[in-house]
Each structure stands twice: as C-alpha cells, then as structure tokens.
Structure 1
Amino acid sequence: MAVIMMINAMLLSQGCLEEERIALLHIKTSFGENPYDIPFPPFSWGKDALCCSWEGVTCSNSTTRRVIEINLFFARYWYLSVFSTQDMGDLYLNASIFLPFQELNVLVLSGNGIAGCVANEGFERLSRLAKLEVLSLEHNNFNNSILSSLKGLSSLKHLYLDENQLQGSINMKGT
C-alpha cells in the first residue's frame, strides 16, 4: 500500500490538473501538424501524462500543480528553419484556449507567425486570467488592430510586441 501511495505522489509531483492537460493538448493541435515529429513544444506534448514535465510548461511547486508558464517560443517555425524552406503561413489564434490556466503568470507566443485571433476569441479573453503578468508576442505578424484587444489585460506588467507589423506611434495613455 505504501508503494502505491509513493507512486501516486510521484505522479502528482509532475502532473497538472486534468483540465489543464486537456487544454495543453488542445493548444498542441491548434499550432498545426509537425510532419517531422520533432520533440519540440508543443509537438512533444502528450507522449506521457506528466504535463508539468513537458518542455515549455512550468507548474507551481505547490500541491495544486497548476500551470503557471507556457513557453511556445518559435514553436511553429523551429522545425521548418532546420528541415524545410516551406512557409507555414499565418496563424489565427483562439485565445480562449488559454482560459483553463487560472494561475498562468507567463505566456510566450513569440515567433509563431500569429497574425491575429479568430473572431470573438481575441486576447481580450485573457482578461479573465488575473495572474497573467507577462505576455510575449514579438516576432509575429500582428498589425495595429491587436492593440484594442490588449486594453483589458490589467494584470500585465510586461508586454512584448517587437518585430510585428505595427505602424506609427502608439498612444499608451489609458491602456
């Protein structure tokens, strides 16, 4: 009996909530296919159930094991830069896929060819994530229309938008 309890404790130490594991797998499918089976996040996710040990996923150290960071830095383009000259095209993201992560503090989506969000599922949805402090969107294809969907993210302390298609000056008053 003690051995079973130890095994369960070990699994819990690397596992996240089932709802968050399912959401991570949904993120994986939203980023497209990985024709080369490269072990890079999010494409390597799901090979085991221990989602807190998945590359690019960081969980809290508490007993709740909630996901606090998702890092998808150049996830869509990494394998193409190594193995192909193919262009994957723009990605239109459904930002609602991040809502199950109530403890999320850092979200890195840099370098994925994201040009915007699907209708009614933009970054304004992330206003429900009260602990989101860092949102990294650089090296994508956003234009100035992204700015209106970011206004409601009151918990943000750091927003990174370098290397996008933004034009002109940006008025930061009231944001």
Structure 2
Amino acid sequence: MTGAVERARADLEAGRPWMARDRLLGALPHRPDEGLVDLLAEVHVLMHDLPAAGALWFATGRDDEAARDAVTVWAARFPSDDARWSSIPRPLRLRTGSRDLEELRRRLSGRPRGEPRPPDVVPDEPWTERVLFPAMLVGGLLWVVAMVLIGAWTVLRWIWG
C-alpha cells in the first residue's frame, strides 16, 4: 500500500487531488495507518471538504489549528453522535482511535437498545423505493408505446395489404 500513498502524492503534484483522494480511499480499508489518514485529510482540505477532513482528524486525534478548524466544521455538519459516528470511515471506526473517538464509541454503546435515532439522522431509504416505481413507470410507458406501434402497423397492413 505504500505505492498507493506514493501515487497519491504524485497525483497531488500533478494537480489531480480527486485521483489522490480515490487512491487513498481505496487503500484505507487495507491500511488505515495515521500517515495515510492524515494525507487523505489534507487532500480533503485541498478539495475544500472540511467536514470529511474533520472526521478523519477527529478519529486520529490530530490537534493543530487546521485539524481543530476542520473538526469544528465537521461537528457543525453532523450535530448528533449517531451522525458523527456514521460520517467516520468504517476502517477507522473498527480500530482503536483517538481518545475522542473512544469517548464517542462509549457514548453510543451506552445508549439503551431501542432508543429512537435522533431526528437529524435519516436512515437511507431502500433502493426499491427509489428505483422500483420509476422503473415500473418507464416499463409501462414503453409497453404502451410498443402496443400502439404494433397496432398501427397491423391496421396499416390490413388497409394496404
């Protein structure tokens, strides 16, 4: 995975921060070390995505002015513990992180089961609700158009046939 970090640095030097971000995100599940995470956060800052950088720096516990600013923006963007936890990349949530990350984990694990989620965390709707109705509508319209065309062709063949 060192190659991914080196290629990401080369992408940054070439002015392609989106490619560096994608490379680092691809390497993150395999190697969530602090150097890779820190570089990924810096790429997010370069791309003006402070909430993403703040989530990463919160998880690693980095404490400097840039990190504090990004974490502040991240905390404002994700005001509840559930939303903050969900915004941190999974590979970082799975490992032992900063003191603050462990405190967030403790607060979430101490919540009683069945407690409703805060209103600012809206669960994703299932794909069927987003895709099924439009797909059925398009399919139905295509069927109607096909039947009209077939019917017109058949009638015209009777008339001229």
TM-score scaled by length of structure 1: 0.31
**Bigger-Rg structure (1/2):** 2
Higher helix share: 2
Higher strand share: 1
